Structure 1
Amino acid sequence: MKNIFSQIAAIAATSAAFSVAVATANNPAQAIELNFNWQGDAGYSAIGSFSYDETTAPTIISEAGPGATNFLQSLNVSFLNPSKNLLGTYNTVTGGVSESDFFKFNFDTSTQTLFGPFDIAGGKAVIGEYFLQGTVGDSLFLRQYIGQDKPDITLDQNSGSIQVSKVPEPASMLGLLAFAALGLGSSVKKKQASC
């Protein structure tokens, strides 16, 4: 019995040390990553993620337009049709720079909720590009740009609902994997002992 507790302690300690090393190497600026998803009334959807440095970000993050962002480090989104086929993927913000002329983003870091004017994805007026725009809590529209002097096509919309969830930290995931491996190893040993 002592042997198994020693093994658990050794695995937990190794896991914790490895997790801290990986987290420190991958997140020196204390970046936090969040996922978001949007579901339209007609079955279209959007899934994506964004990140910012939680040690320097204010309570309210507001970003707009092209160029260097104030606090967002990244933001990407993919759009899916009702059959869950990919329509397009866009990196609206990469390395702290927005590529969209129409970008609008407002986020409350204390409640981890999006709010207000919202416009992500396309933004370069390229025929065929998709974008999600509107006002969070009022109405959000998935649209496709079809050309200058032509109205955008509205593919779907909803009442402005969009969900945000925190991405699990690498240290947490590695810890879970370590305990899963321990459980698997224990099961194999028990099976071998019973044979």
Structure 2
Amino acid sequence: MTHLFTKTAISIVTITTLGLAIAITTNDLAHAAEFNFNWEGNTGYSAKGSFNYDTTTAPSVISESGLGATKNLQSLSISFFDPLNTLINSFTPVLSGVSNYGFLRFNFNSTKEQIFGPFDIGKDDELPGDTWLNNNLALINEGFSKEVLAKEFGFNNRNPAGTKQILDLSDNSVKVSKVPEGSIIIGLLAVCSLAFNLKQKFNPKFKI
């Protein structure tokens, strides 16, 4: 009897904890905006990623650069693929509002839902396997106009010797799509439902 009571108590705590987690996450998501983005080069290399920020504090134009605490971005991730769509590498340049990528350049117009201007996302510690996507706008110096410099994006990688190589180039823009606000919540509810069903399977006498 004691064993059954303990299992029941644990089950109730587990379900309650999941419910609270969903409630808290739902509240956070009510003020969050999440977007996916993708880019494809002329020879088939591609990059895909996502980012999010708090809509209650972010301005209409979000600009981030360098290391340390970000102004608005909460997270930013990117994955790189070869022409056969095989994953080359994945990085998370921004995590929990902190950038770990010194060359970071990111600009986003939330009104137009467009990425624009200087762009440099990935990882480059001059180590083998480092990969990043950038454009020449990140190299603008005083005295040079945007029209003079090429706007092409470069898919960059460091080979096993650590030497930089440009694997692909393209003038293709980085395309952005907004993630539906309810999709993450639905996923969390599904996880909670699964947990509840498992509890009932292994403890049929458990009821809420």
**Cα RMSD after superposing both structures:** 2.6
Q: Structure 1 residues 41 and 69 mapped into 2: Cα distance closer, same or farther (>3 Å)?
A: same
Mapping of residues 1-195 of structure 1, within 5 Å: 22=22, 25-28=25-28, 30-135=31-136, 138-146=151-159, 150=163, 152-170=164-182, 174=186
**Aligned counterparts of 2:165 and 2:122: Cα–Cα separation in 1:** 15
Q: CA contact under 8 A between 2:32 and 2:55: conserved in structure 1?
A: yes
With normalisation by structure 2, the TM-score equals 0.67
User: Aligned pair count?
Assistant: 154
With normalisation by structure 1, the TM-score equals 0.71
Q: Structure 1 residues 169 and 23 mapped into 2: Cα distance closer, same or farther (>3 Å)?
A: farther
Q: Structure 1 residues 86 and 57 mapped into 2: Cα distance closer, same or farther (>3 Å)?
A: same
Question: CA offsets per residue over residues 87-128 of structure 1, 9 Å max, x none?
Answer: 000001000111111110011111110000100010323222
Q: SS at the partner of 1:28? A: helix
Deviation at 1:26, TM superposition (A): 3.5
The structure carrying a bigger strand percent of its residues is: 1
What letter is aligned with 2:25?
A: A
Give the gaps of 5 or more residues in structure 2. Answer: 1-20, 138-149, 190-208
Q: Matched residues, percent identical? A: 42
Question: CA offsets per residue over residues 55-111 of structure 1, 9 Å max, x none?
Answer: 110011110001110000000000000001100000010001111111100111111
What letter is aligned with 2:130?
A: E
Deviation at 1:172, TM superposition (A): 8.9
What letter is aligned with 1:104?
A: R
**Aligned counterparts of 2:60 and 2:23: Cα–Cα separation in 1:** 24
Q: CA contact under 8 A between 2:41 and 2:172: conserved in structure 1?
A: no
**Aligned counterparts of 1:157 and 1:131: Cα–Cα separation in 2:** 12
**Aligned counterparts of 1:172 and 1:73: Cα–Cα separation in 2:** 16
Aligned to 2:192: none
**Aligned counterparts of 2:157 and 2:175: Cα–Cα separation in 1:** 22
Q: Structure 1 residues 172 and 77 mapped into 2: Cα distance closer, same or farther (>3 Å)?
A: closer
Q: CA contact under 8 A between 1:33 and 1:49: conserved in structure 2?
A: yes
Question: CA offsets per residue over residues 40-62 of structure 1, 9 Å max, x none?
Answer: 11000101000000111001111
Q: CA contact under 8 A between 1:50 and 1:76: conserved in structure 2?
A: yes
Q: CA contact under 8 A between 1:22 and 1:170: conserved in structure 2?
A: no
Question: CA offsets per residue over residues 140-195 of structure 1, 9 Å max, x none?
Answer: 110013467x5x20001110411000011126984xx9xxxxxxxxxxxxxxxxxx
Q: SS at the partner of 2:25? A: helix
- Once structures 1 and 2 are overlaid, which stretch shifts more, 63-72 or 136-145? 136-145
